[in-house]
Amino acid sequence: MPRLQDKVCIVTGATSGIGRRTAEVFAAEGAHVIVAGRREAEGRAVEAAIGARCAFVRTDVTEEAQVEALIAFTMARHGRIDCLFNNAGGPAPVGGIETIPVEGFDAAMATLLRSVMLGMKHVAPIMSAQGSGSIVNNGSIAGSRAGYSTSMIYSAAKAAVIHLTRCAAMQLGERNVRVNTISPGGIATGIFGKALGLSAEKAEASAEAVKVGLAKMQPIPRAGLVDDIAMAAVFLASDESGFVNGHDLVVDGGVIGGRMWSPHQEAVRGMRAAFGIGH
């Protein structure tokens, strides 16, 4: 049996990248999927590609009324919500702390953090009344380690997402509603191009180009793929993870595990040579 058979799942930020692929995989695993995003044409294309198990709702997840409307549409259509994947995101101001514009800070926090709060706020009563549900929030390794984003504001927002998730998990777990994060490492999407100022169209086209660089970041010698995150989301949305709550599932090929083995051994050999010690 498919792992998400007849579950009702909402995926935000689903017009491209991780969100779109997760919606596709959810549907393939038997779910009814509501995809949300700001771009109408791209959202309708996702809806058409997935087919009858999918509906698109144009949503700016930084706006509370639009999040409420997304939840209301899903309930009117299906009568329940089994999973919410708060995936919507975007770039944040780059540069040193002394250069951060207040308006850029506020906009980034709205997209990256307020949206997660709003999604949880409006789905929590429904899932609590059901006595079941899974909320999955998209975090980042940048939220638990400094230096893994071009933007310290992005890192701070993701750190807040991870901790807000834990706090909500302690509350909602009492109603059998699980709340977890997925923290991606270097995933080949357009987010890198967007962070450096490319248009959305050009950024999406740049995803393939970043794979070479990302392959060198971690022990697993390849770039992270959107499927890696999608499959993690399937696990957390499914009944297989029924005892997983308040957890940050890191999907990064080992990048934050520590110093990579081969460079470390090369450094040791260099020290031996400097000390005149043979192998």
Q: Which residues are catalytic?
A: 154
Which SS3 state, helix, strand or coil, does residue 25 take?
helix
For strand 133-138 and strand 32-37, is the pairing parallel, antiparallel, or unpaired?
Answer: unpaired
Residue 249, strand partner residues? 182
What gap in Å lies between CA 135 and CA 241, rounded to an integer? Answer: 12
Classified as helix, coil or strand, 56 is: strand
Strand pairing category for 248-251 and 177-184: parallel
Dihedral sign from CA coordinates of 155, 161, 167, 169: negative
| Separation between Cα atoms, residue 231 and residue 142, nearest integer Å | 21
Could you give the CA distance from residue 116 to residue 62 in angstroms, rounded to a whole number?
A: 9
CA nearest neighbour of 61 among 78, 36, 85, 92 = 36
